[in-house]
Structure 1
């Protein structure tokens, strides 16, 4: 708080600085407007960019006369003299490659030319959005260098850079107008569900790699910045309508539409306002992967089948060890697992995607300078599919954000809150489990199965064979008598009752009423201290977790948790501004952990006077605090429980489980402490189980020697040492960006699976196998599987290389291409149960060729991308994501008389469906036509 007051006093002292305002437009040699052009004051970092019509307004504290530098990708830089306040200028840019002069803000929290950025940075401009062949600008981000998309749903795409992410990417930060729009409950970004409207985008900047030194613990593997247009400089009514079709083998052909409108007006030089509304509706990609989740090649005719996109078959018992019919039948039945008959995902969801976004903001400029007060509210509603440890239907999901911000040339002070409501969302696994239990309890179903199997094996059932396969088929048909059939009124009634009930024993509804309260501030001393540019800043965040006991251990009331951080940065230019040195450090403290420092040092060196060849390097020690999910989750997903390791969380989580008759019956009560302090590794249990099943009953003692006690540590912050080198420059008309990185991770946060016995003491190679021992509990299937959050003791390293090239190749044709290599190294043998979840292709190639003026007002662009196959690891399923080649194309035509643009596009025109997330639907084709009207 003292830091905030200090910053506040500093910038209040600056509000009386005189201001000069310059307005104008930027055009090309054919008198066409240039959107996204960079306009800056020569010798300073103050700048802005032109809107969709090439218009701009720039305010600066510098008094005339001074010079503006105006540039844009594919055009030369023009300098314009400003001699008076409120001057109006027109700049006409000649064709030339000048990508190096783009202005970015995110790399150093201050405006600077992209060639002066000390770290790797990617950017999407208004011009890029116009020529994108993707259905939305957010989809188009996939064509940027270093970006890997993880698509869980047509409306839920998770951005990943530099590996180590599933759909829930808690290592990547996404800011919209300075607000983190991640979920308060689970701490990951929900795609663009509450992001920004395409027609309100001012700029998009991407920082791949560790950025903890300026942006805090969650900026561990990258940040995406999405900035909206100001109603002071971009006014009028803009609207668009998209209509099209999705095509997929499983779902067929389905219509979709997407509408949006933006209204902005400056009522005076002191007050402006804007509002946005968008609505998208369509049919999701059907998820129809029916491979067995645990055994490759096993189909659903197998008695222990557990399909990837089949739910309810997680209910599993062993015929021999859980037989309820007495010793005679017990000796006849095989030692085999059987699973209940499940329901396909397509039976449990309508696969409809919807997304509505509403936002409005009020902008005040009380004085004749750049001080601005902003109130902004954002609302997002929608249906989508999220994949975590299970598949979740986000039905009627609602999220809102409200921000109050005071900002100026050298400072900002903002506070915002994010609140979400799960609506009618539900867990598909528990939906299927509890629909099954409505028509027949698990106990009755397994009893009927065992009895029928025994009768068939003994030849007591006429016209039924006695082979194991025939006996299993007959037993399932008997146990499935009365099964609710999808589509029938009885099924629909049971389904509606289950998804409305949050009790995991009877229902599947997800409860979420969580909130984040966040504030941050920054002050730049560049106008007060000239020898170097110094910034200071800080942030504070408080969580209020409220899942009603459904996901977290908050049944008795919300869990409150907070964290804060402070940072400073110093930049200095030397050698006639050819060398820029930057040093920064941040200190972060979370409630349950010791504080951590994140230092970063970097340099940028321009090898020539024109700064066409720029070399950069940086080193950073970053860290990531365990997110709230790592600490406070207590989530029963059926076949196992997810347990966070906060000490109070372990004692809050309890469950009572029935002990088998073979172990004497009764009940066992387990807490989260059993998962961490009295459990066996999953690998040793599997070895024990296999040895015990294949040997005689007297072999329990021998099998027990294979058991190893699991000793997962309570989760703590993970750290990274990140080395980054790069070059950005122009060589014979080619704009080139090259970067390489090497990261060393310690205490990497991930998951382990462990097996906790209902009774007995877990120990390595236990000698006690008598009644009441842990080995006896395991032999009788009296155990609970847990997924624990912990750190691996083994070091993990990752290495990567990226190359991006762009050039105007012929007349108005622009070509851009990029390549990425990414790999990691982890000694799996040192920690067999740990999953790093790198989930990134080793090789990726992307390319785009475009022409905004192919014939008159007709523009065309074609994008292609390819990646090698790669291994996918997650708490839901492990497997291989196949190699993919994707080609998108679009044509647009400007109707100047109607101030509008018509665009026709198609994605994945090669037609081969591909996946990005194991368990999600394969991505088919999308065809669309859109009409955008500008002021």
Structure 2
């Protein structure tokens, strides 16, 4: 019996061994260069090509054996192996851009050409050919995309207008996680994103995307997908260095290092870590032109003017008129008579400010680290459990209402996700710590006040003015006697003291440790319901504000609230799968606002024998909840107070005035003069309502086509047009609250209120609310891509964007469209001009346009920007070397008035095993 069993066992083993066949081969790209990380699949197993393109796969099949060879961004090849000794060589050809598979538009895999809405994409090959110093900078070369940058580290992406550097209408996701900084409610660009080594693809949906992605996907959404350690294993590194060149800042070196380590332990378990660090110089902002207060415009005049308010000069925002100064002085000085006050010109006098360069350090840096563990219980993609943690820390300058310095700013995210063939369920935690975060404008204002209080400085100025022949220059010199000079011990001591205290305490520090919890999930019923592809999903978010009263009104009590959303989508094909219907609807609710429905309907129709000419039409909606600042702001801003406009916030902010009295946000909304009407000579009560979400309705038409020019030439064409109608744009309204008196039922001020206004017994508020303005925008985009002259790649795009604003509906509203009417982008290059050598050139042109923001507004000049790179691959050391530069013409340009001018940047990079 034992002998028989042993014989059977040996026979089975022999058959098993005999049935196993090892096939070896090599994978190349279309330029016959070795191709790494290609996936080779048989019926029962898979393998991956190494850096030299070699692969070995063991199968339990009989000949002929079919192998499927694929890679992200390349066409899948099927190879039939007839014998064990057959030489297997596979050539992978790069996918046509419109044939690339995307998931963002429908939360389901589909070709770009079939997407129901406009979509822009960047893949691994595009990143390698990128002319910019990072892939994130390279997004500026995609059709319809605008890049806002203040320095090497902080950049933000926008589409279709209506944004500044603080882009709260655009959402950025990394592996499904929202990278918006909790306290700011907008993404800090790639400061907390993926490294060049770990990004697999970037997909951008311009326009409203709330139907699937909820609140704030108002202008668009960007989804960044990182590389899986199951597919991309090994150690990769890059080192970049060079220098930036700017007239104001000179030539400054930068350094950028990154490393990715990924390991596939077996078919069930894999992991990876990423580390990046950069050190660079910010673009210096040194515009000393005169302006009309914060958020105003540049005007004629220089520092010799008594009311000078420099653009990048801070502290001079504190001002008073000679009559106001004299009226205040008359309360304690009987020599200041009414006749003397009447003889004075109604002239504005501002305190002497400090240049930005004396207040900030332009050195910036950024460190990012992330790690993830991936577990597949059944050794396949039917279920993958992922734990991921991301950390970022750095120093940078960004421009909002003021110029802010974030030193030691940190950001962290932790995610647990269950990912299956037809579903995902994820939860993550996001938190920020502001570090040594200060407002450069308040730093200057309060250094001045540490040296000499405003009242005393203006009093000295008035006395000298009256006693020195009414000479402004002599009056300023006298008032400034003993002033702290930049770099002095007194200045440095005062500066350190100011940035250690909050704005409310007379300092410049802004503290925040806001966080939130988020969960979302999706299930696709495609394997259960055959009628069509049906998906359901939802999300939940819990916000926890924590600024200790320095930014939000959470000094005495914590603030938290909830948001949730649910959605469903149906996709169905008709008429030989030529007509594709996509319909979805989402419902979102926040604690502070009424619920919002976001429907979307689109139709695609495919023409041609190969269905490679697609016409599409869509209707979709979007909304944006007010940011945390717009809801819960509560802080003094030098000349007044800024408060959020949600109903829950109005009585949380209290201002102490003379006589032991107090004012709150309720007074700003219910008992105030409209400053805009006062400026026009009208004494009217302000008409304000608590803030509500913004809404947009969008209509879009598009056409995508793959045109065969001849047997080996293809032209890809992508055309879209859109029309948007907006409601309830958020706006800041300035009001004046009298310390006594009020308004009649018809809005007419009573005698006491007018007396308070006359005596300057008032307090200014800037409140966040909504505008009644009628705003629309529309535009078109045209993009084409082809290859000419045996492999040279040529791409071009044109975008037209326009908005209409009925100024009569709200004369004081500033739409801040902030987008050029015309944009042209061109790309030309060859990835393998000759063996191991490639190059690429990008050129961008845009016309001038008007920029509006809470910092400054004005014309942004037209510009042409030229970027280029050449690269050389050394297979023996698994390396790619690249030399390149951005803005090679050297003509500096401004992204926005008041920001540092953008100069040129030259770089060399060395990438190993990417």
TM-score norm. by structure 2 comes to 0.90
- Paired position in structure 2 for 1:662: none
CA drift at 1:100: 2.2
Asked if the contact 2:684–2:748 (Cα under 8 Å) also holds between the matched residues in 1, the reply is: no
Q: What aligned pairs does 1:341-740 form with structure 2 within 5 A after superposition? A: 341-370=352-381, 371-457=383-469, 466=470, 471-658=471-658, 666=659, 669-688=662-681, 706-731=682-707, 732=709, 733-740=714-721
Q: Distance in 1 between matches of 2:852 and 2:748?
A: 35
Q: Distance in 2 between matches of 1:804 and 1:652?
A: 51
The 10-residue stretch of structure 1 (754-763 or 868-877) with the greater mean CA deviation from structure 2: 754-763
Asked if the contact 2:40–2:67 (Cα under 8 Å) also holds between the matched residues in 1, the reply is: no
- Paired position in structure 1 for 2:813: 834
Q: 1:388-437: per-residue Cα shift (whole Å, max 9, x none)?
A: 21111011100000000110111110000111001111111111111001
CA drift at 1:33: 4.5
Q: Provide the secondary structure at the position in 2 that maps to 1:892.
A: strand
When residues 667 and 881 of structure 1 are mapped into structure 2, their CA distance, relative to the original with a 3 A threshold, is: farther
CA drift at 1:258: 0.3
Query: Is residue 788 from structure 1 mapped to residue 767 from structure 2 by the alignment?
Result: yes
Asked if the contact 2:738–2:756 (Cα under 8 Å) also holds between the matched residues in 1, the reply is: yes
Asked if the contact 1:914–1:924 (Cα under 8 Å) also holds between the matched residues in 2, the reply is: yes
Q: What aligned pairs does 1:185-334 form with structure 2 within 5 A after superposition? A: 185-294=183-292, 296-323=299-326, 324-325=329-330, 326-327=336-337, 329-334=340-345
Q: Provide the secondary structure at the position in 1 that maps to 2:410.
A: strand
Q: 1:63-82: per-residue Cα shift (whole Å, max 9, x none)?
A: x9999595887x87744579
Q: 1:806-859: per-residue Cα shift (whole Å, max 9, x none)?
A: 111111210111111111111122211212111111111111111111232111
- Paired position in structure 1 for 2:15: none
CA drift at 1:207: 0.6
- Paired position in structure 2 for 1:844: 823
Asked if the contact 1:707–1:764 (Cα under 8 Å) also holds between the matched residues in 2, the reply is: no
CA drift at 1:225: 0.7
- Structure 2, unaligned stretches of length 5 or more? 1-22, 58-63, 293-297, 331-335
Asked if the contact 1:333–1:454 (Cα under 8 Å) also holds between the matched residues in 2, the reply is: no
- Paired position in structure 1 for 2:32: 31
CA drift at 1:553: 0.4
Asked if the contact 1:321–1:780 (Cα under 8 Å) also holds between the matched residues in 2, the reply is: no
* Alpha-carbon RMSD: 2.9
Return the match for 1:888 from 864, 867, 883: 867
- Structure 1, unaligned stretches of length 5 or more? 1-21, 59-63, 458-465, 659-665, 689-705
CA drift at 1:484: 0.6
Asked if the contact 1:683–1:832 (Cα under 8 Å) also holds between the matched residues in 2, the reply is: no
When residues 885 and 25 of structure 1 are mapped into structure 2, their CA distance, relative to the original with a 3 A threshold, is: farther
Q: Provide the secondary structure at the position in 2 that maps to 1:128.
A: helix
Asked if the contact 2:704–2:717 (Cα under 8 Å) also holds between the matched residues in 1, the reply is: yes
When residues 436 and 296 of structure 1 are mapped into structure 2, their CA distance, relative to the original with a 3 A threshold, is: same
CA drift at 1:877: 1.3
Q: Distance in 1 between matches of 2:740 and 2:890?
A: 55
Query: Is residue 933 from structure 1 mapped to residue 909 from structure 2 by the alignment?
Result: no
When residues 89 and 835 of structure 1 are mapped into structure 2, their CA distance, relative to the original with a 3 A threshold, is: farther
Q: 1:649-691: per-residue Cα shift (whole Å, max 9, x none)?
A: 1101011245xxxxxxx56522112222222223222233xxx
Asked if the contact 1:244–1:257 (Cα under 8 Å) also holds between the matched residues in 2, the reply is: yes
The 10-residue stretch of structure 1 (276-285 or 627-636) with the greater mean CA deviation from structure 2: 627-636
Q: Distance in 2 between matches of 1:247 and 1:319?
A: 44
Q: Distance in 1 between matches of 2:764 and 2:450?
A: 25
Q: Distance in 1 between matches of 2:892 and 2:745?
A: 47
When residues 784 and 744 of structure 1 are mapped into structure 2, their CA distance, relative to the original with a 3 A threshold, is: same
Q: Distance in 1 between matches of 2:852 and 2:151?
A: 18
Q: Distance in 2 between matches of 1:313 and 1:40?
A: 69
Asked if the contact 1:546–1:557 (Cα under 8 Å) also holds between the matched residues in 2, the reply is: no
Asked if the contact 2:68–2:76 (Cα under 8 Å) also holds between the matched residues in 1, the reply is: no
When residues 496 and 667 of structure 1 are mapped into structure 2, their CA distance, relative to the original with a 3 A threshold, is: same
Asked if the contact 1:374–1:405 (Cα under 8 Å) also holds between the matched residues in 2, the reply is: yes
CA drift at 1:285: 0.3
Q: Distance in 1 between matches of 2:484 and 2:352?
A: 11
TM-score norm. by structure 1 comes to 0.88
- Paired position in structure 2 for 1:811: 790
Q: Distance in 1 between matches of 2:479 and 2:50?
A: 66
Q: Distance in 1 between matches of 2:430 and 2:279?
A: 24
- Paired position in structure 1 for 2:19: none
CA drift at 1:38: 11
Query: Is residue 757 from structure 1 mapped to residue 755 from structure 2 by the alignment?
Result: no
Q: Distance in 2 between matches of 1:23 and 1:406?
A: 35
- Paired position in structure 2 for 1:741: 722
- Paired position in structure 2 for 1:10: none
Asked if the contact 2:742–2:749 (Cα under 8 Å) also holds between the matched residues in 1, the reply is: no
When residues 72 and 258 of structure 1 are mapped into structure 2, their CA distance, relative to the original with a 3 A threshold, is: closer
When residues 307 and 588 of structure 1 are mapped into structure 2, their CA distance, relative to the original with a 3 A threshold, is: same
- Paired position in structure 2 for 1:137: 135
